[in-house]
Amino acid sequence: MKTDLTLFSRGADAADRPDANRRLLLFGLVSAYTASLVPWAMAQEATDADHGAFLAVSAILVGRQSLDAAHAGRLYAALSADDPEFPAAAKALLELIESRRIDPMQLQQILDDEQSPLKLVPWRIVTAWYMGIVGDGAKARCLAFETALNAEAVSDVLRPPTYAYGAYGSWTRKPT
């Protein structure tokens, strides 16, 4: 656990950690293009280059201002368990984006048009982060619900279903 990146772990501060200097900063692993896409993610730490590539491509694809490091580790492990080629594919996807300076909004279209072997990779990564779900069909499993990014993205206004909005009648107010 301690070797995982922790900068964006809730409540943790990597700078205070004694082993911080043994880690790789994402900044050192990616191109200037990636750094310009997700500058806020550059201080993320990774245990190795593959993991770093997953983090960088995750940051590009989900576009959120913070990613939970422990959760990143779980998603990476689950995606890799489903497909041993996943780490390499994530790295290849990052290289593709960097080398061709692809806008995230154009990415899927390009992969589809080119019949790229990587065309399912962004979908997998974004589904894992945004829905908390890894895998397809009967193999699908839930790794997050309350902390899936689609819940966090609206958490100022909505609670995930099954969570009480509030005391009776609190929902009559105009949402702000």
Interface with other proteins, residue 140, by CB under 8 A: yes
Contacts of 92 (CB under 8 A, 6+ apart): 118
Question: How many C-beta atoms lie closer than 10 Å to residue 35's C-beta?
Answer: 15
Q: Which of 62, 69, 79, 94 binds other proteins (CB under 8 A)?
A: 62
How many positions of this chain bind other proteins (CB under 8 A)?
Answer: 60
Smallest gap from residue 37 Cβ to other proteins (A): 8
Contact range with other proteins by CB under 8 A, out of 13-21, 26-34, 47-55, 108-116:
108-116
Interface with other proteins, residue 74, by CB under 8 A: yes
Contact range with other proteins by CB under 8 A, out of 24-32, 41-49, 83-91, 156-164:
156-164
Q: Rounded to 5 degrees, what are φ and ψ at 133? A: -115, 130
Interface with other proteins, residue 54, by CB under 8 A: no
Smallest gap from residue 21 Cβ to other proteins (A): 27
Contact range with other proteins by CB under 8 A, out of 12-20, 26-34, 87-95, 120-128:
120-128
Evaluate whether 80 touches 73 at the Cβ level (below 8 Å). Answer: no
CA 126, CA 54: separation in Å to the nearest integer? 11
DSSP 8-state assignment for residue 73: H
Residue 52 burial class via C-beta count within 10 angstroms: exposed 0-12, middle 13-18, buried 19 and up: buried
Structure tokens at 129: 């982060």
Evaluate whether 8 touches 69 at the Cβ level (below 8 Å). Answer: yes
| Residue 49 or 154 having the CB closest to other proteins | 154
Greatest Cα-to-Cα distance within the chain, rounded to the nearest angstrom: 54
- Give the contact letters, 21-50, x = binds to other proteins (CB under 8 A), - = no: ----------------x-------------
DSSP string for residues in 99-123: HHT--HHHHHHHHHHTT-TTTTHHH
Q: What does the binding site for other proteins look like in residue numbers (CB under 8 A)?
A: 11, 37, 60-64, 70-71, 74, 103-105, 107-109, 112, 122-123, 126-127, 130-133, 135, 137-138, 140-147, 149-151, 153-154, 157-175
